[in-house]
Amino acid sequence: MTARIGVVTFPGSLDDGDAARAVRIAGGEPVRLWHGDAALHGVDAVVLPGGFSYGDYLRCGAIARFAPVMETIVDAARGGLPVLGICNGFQILCEAHLLPGALTRNQHLHFRNRDQLLRVEATGTAWTNTYQPGQEILIPVKNGEGCYVADTATLDRLEGEGQVVARYLGGNPNASQRDIAAITNSAGNVVGIMPHPEHAVEALTGPSLDGLGFFTSVLKHLVGAPA
């Protein structure tokens, strides 16, 4: 059966349609999930898309973490459900304490929108298993609050335990500590990434096809997961 990948829409979501399209191109079945509905409707994995959930009021992702659907997603993620948070979705994952640290205002105080080179470092996650360690990929970045920060002990733990998924190359667009662009939890089922892999899945519209691997990876992971 085709894997069903949920894509959540919050008020202010911007890239939920793009994420659903990326799932479809990868070979999965996208299932649209609504922020106010706690049910996950039998999906096998979830994508929290980019955008400006609830207008980014208070802090980016601070209100979205209390949405009914997030209560269910948090419980399911702790039970092993693969969850990918992209940009605003990464912020939501940190606010929900599924990932450590926080995303703060870009240190130069400017919005950055450009094609960004990354180095993939962790390939044992549910979302990166089709990449090679050290592989360089080119995908768009677009954020105003994309600066990843954490205390020194957390940064050391992430690096020491192989939980840094990707780092910026060729210039850090937001001054994220240790050039961190993406991280994972210790189990490898939850990944947060600030750049946008869903915008690099088609030659017509993206700078590359390099983002597609995030979506084919979760399909590969689900095929190998216990029934």
pTM of the model: 0.95
pLDDT of residue 8: 98
The one catalytic residue in 87, 94, 121, 221 is 87
pLDDT of residue 227: 47
Average pLDDT for the chain: 95
Query: Nearest-5° angle of CA 50, CA 51, CA 56?
Result: 125
Count of positions (residues) in the chain: 227
* DSSP notation for 167-199: EEESS-SS--GGGEEEEE-TTSSEEEESS-GGG
pLDDT of residue 30: 98
Per the annotation, the verdict on 110 as an active-site residue is no
Q: Helix, strand, or coil here: 131?
A: coil
Q: Are 107 and 174 in contact (CB under 8 A)?
A: yes
Phi, psi of 85 (to 5 degrees): -110, 120
The one catalytic residue in 95, 121, 198, 199 is 198
The one catalytic residue in 35, 196, 199, 221 is 196
Q: Helix, strand, or coil here: 12?
A: coil
25 membership: H or E segment, kind and range? helix 16-26
pLDDT of residue 225: 65
pLDDT of residue 145: 85
| β-strand pairing of 102-104 with 147-149 | antiparallel
Q: How far apart are CA 165 and CA 193, in angstroms?
A: 8
The percentage of residues in the chain with a pLDDT greater than 70, rounded to a whole number, is: 99
pLDDT of residue 108: 87
Phi, psi of 21 (to 5 degrees): -65, -40
pLDDT of residue 179: 97
Q: Are 34 and 40 in contact (CB under 8 A)?
A: no
Per the annotation, the verdict on 87 as an active-site residue is yes
Report all structural domains of the chain as residue ranges with CATH numbers, in order of start: 4-224 (3.40.50.880)
pLDDT of residue 226: 57
Per the annotation, the verdict on 41 as an active-site residue is no
Low-confidence ranges of the chain (pLDDT < 50): 227
